[in-house]
Each structure stands twice: as C-alpha cells, then as structure tokens.
Amino acid sequence: MKKIAFVIFSVLLLSSCATKKQILYFQNAEELNNLLSSNIFEPQIEPNDILHISVSSLDETVVAPFKMSEQEGAVNNQNSLLRGYLVNNLGTIQFPVLGEIAVAGKTRGEVITLLTSKISDYVKDAVVDVRIMNFKVTVIGGVNNPGVYTIADERVTLPQAIGLPGIFR
C-alpha cells in the first residue's frame, strides 16, 4: 500500500512540473496593457540630470546664440552624456542668452514650454526639444546585479528593466 501511495505521489509530483518555456509570464496581458496605458508616467527632472536641449528655426543663424559653443561641442563628441546641460543641486541650468533657468520638478514637456516662451522673445517660431540623457532605473531584489542603471530611453517597461544585461544569471 505504501509503494502504491509513493508511486501515485511521485507521478503527481513529476507531472505537475513545467519547463520555463511552458510558463506564461504575463497571464493577464490584456488587463496589464489597459492598466499601463491609463497610468503613463511622466518623469520629472531632478538635480544631476543631464538635459540635451536643441533649439532650431527656419533661419539657423538666429538660434545660434541658444546653442552650445563649437568648442564645447568638440569636447563633447567624446561622450554623449557630456553634450548636455547639468541640472545643478539648486535645480537650475545655465542656458545661453537666457541665463539661469529653474527646471527641477518639471516634466520634459513643461521645460519645452518654458524655454519656447522665453526664446520666443528673441526668435519667432523657434522649435525646442528636451531629452533627459541619463535616465536612471534602479533594479533591486533577488537579481544578480542590483543597482542603478542609466538607459537611453525615457520610458522603460518592467521586463525591459529586469532584462538589462547582467541582471539575471
């Protein structure tokens, strides 16, 4: 009787195992997509962020004063993170012609609106774009290499974050 019970238990135990390929990672993917699309996160700029700000117009000569100097650009070709404006501990950047601009606590869109309105005093129909160059993701928990990772994109999904190289064994 004990042998039969052991065999039945063993069969049940072994048949309940699933390989990694059989596991469905996102069982409620439709529900998850609806939740994520309704909760789009807009990151706020913080001290020590590096912003890439580009100003353009139909006449590039009128926006030239609002761009980094050629000398800075030559140095910055070594590393794309050095090509931007560092948000200091007070939450401001030094922008050509306009001087000190408070950007901390604002979203990318709010900074674009702010700079566009200030530049419009000097340039008609200027186009401003702002990107956070050192967007950071913190990965913690039961992973191989927990820590802070700098990524190029301002939006990252959870699977993308935990799929960064070296996170899992």
Q: What is the per-residue pLDDT across 64-86, written as a single tens digit (0 to 9) for each?
A: 888 876 444 444 444 555 678 99
- Pick the residue with more confidence: 158 or 107? 107
Q: How confident is the model at residue 3 (pLDDT cuts 50, 70, 90)?
A: confident
As given in the structure block, the two tokens for residue 57 are: 């117009």
pTM of the prediction? Answer: 0.67
As given in the structure block, the two tokens for residue 11 are: 């069969």
| Mean pLDDT of the 97-125 span | 93
* Stretch (H or E) spanning 138: strand 135-139
pLDDT(110) > 80: yes
**Cα separation of 9 and 120, whole Å?**
77
**Cα separation of 156 and 88, whole Å?**
25
Burial class (CB in 10 A: 0-12, 13-18, 19+), 110: middle
Q: Is 98 left (phi over 0), alpha (psi -120 to 50) or beta?
A: alpha
* All domains of the chain in start order, with CATH: 50-132 (3.30.1950.10), 134-169 (no CATH)
As given in the structure block, the two tokens for residue 104 are: 């901390």
What does the mean pLDDT of the chain come to? Answer: 77
Dihedrals phi, psi of 159, to nearest 5 degrees = -60, -35
